[in-house]
Structure 1
Amino acid sequence: MIRLLWALSAHARYYLRRYMPTNIALDAIRTRRGLKWGTPAMLLAAPYFLAANYCVTLIEDGGPGWLNLLVLLFCWNALKFLIMGPISVVLLIRARMEESATHRRHRRALRPIEPAEPTTARTP
């Protein structure tokens, strides 16, 4: 039974990771080329919070109860984008530090070895 639940959750995670737009966007941001877009992507949280606020207003005015699921979904997606901003900055700093270290090592490896200067012994 646990094995079946584990398999179902793995398949559900794969499906959501593969086909849901916010997960696709966050996966693109996590790439090396996309890390620079993490901070601007934080701005995408604002429309999600506005949509959640609108749904809450509709619920309070007597709207259907299933809008609570949309509120939960909108808040979850907004939080994902809010959290990805600082994470992408940290990942970008780490990637640039690794790239500079690799570049520095590569430059050292290509630097020609200078011959040692001959030492001359002083004669008294």
Structure 2
Amino acid sequence: MLRLIWTLSVHTRNFLRRYMPTNRLLDAIRTRRGLKWGVPAMLLAIPYLLAAAVFRGLIEGGGLGWLNLLVLLCLWNSMKLVIIGPVSLVLLIRARTREAVARRNTP
């Protein structure tokens, strides 16, 4: 049973990593070429927050309860995009420092 749950969770993670747009964006930002796009990607959190507000308004207006899942999804995606900005800056500074050290050590 544990093996089945483990396998299911691995396949779910692979599916979400491959096909969900924010995960693909975050994977692209974490590359060396994409680190410079971390801060502008933070702006994409705004539409997710607006969508969460719209879904919340629909729920409060008597909408379906499953819209709460969309609210959570939008909030989760906006948090991921807000966090990637500072993280990408730290990773970019670290990468540029390593490159400068490597350039200095090359004869």
Asked whether the two chains share a fold, i.e. TM above 0.5, the reply is: yes
Paired residues for 1:1-124 under 5 Å: 1-106=1-106, 109=107
Paired with 1:29 and 1:58, the residues of 2 have a C-alpha distance of: 33
Identity score, percent: 65
Three-state SS of the structure 2 residue aligned to 1:63 is coil
Tell me the TM-score normalised to structure 1 length. Answer: 0.85
Paired with 1:43 and 1:86, the residues of 2 have a C-alpha distance of: 13
Give CA deviations for 1:16-74 in whole Å, capped at 9, x if unaligned: 00111111111000000000000000000010000000100110010111110100100
Please list every run of at least 4 consecutive aligned residues from structure 1 whose deviation after the TM superposition is greater than 3 angstroms.
none
Structure showing greater relative contact order (alpha-carbon pairs closer than 8 Å, 6 or more residues apart): 2
Q: Which amino acid aligns with 2:3?
A: R
Where do 5+ consecutive residues of structure 1 fail to align? 110-124
RMSD of the alignment, in Å?
0.6
- The aligned counterpart of 1:117 is none
Aligned residues: 107
Which structure's CA Rg is the greater one?
A: 1
Give CA deviations for 1:97-117 in whole Å, capped at 9, x if unaligned: 0000000011xx2xxxxxxxx
Following TM superposition, by how much is the alpha carbon of 1:3 offset from its aligned partner in structure 2, in angstroms? 1.2
Three-state SS of the structure 2 residue aligned to 1:32 is coil
Tell me the TM-score normalised to structure 2 length. Answer: 0.98
Higher helix share: 2
Q: Which amino acid aligns with 1:105?
A: N
Paired with 1:50 and 1:9, the residues of 2 have a C-alpha distance of: 30
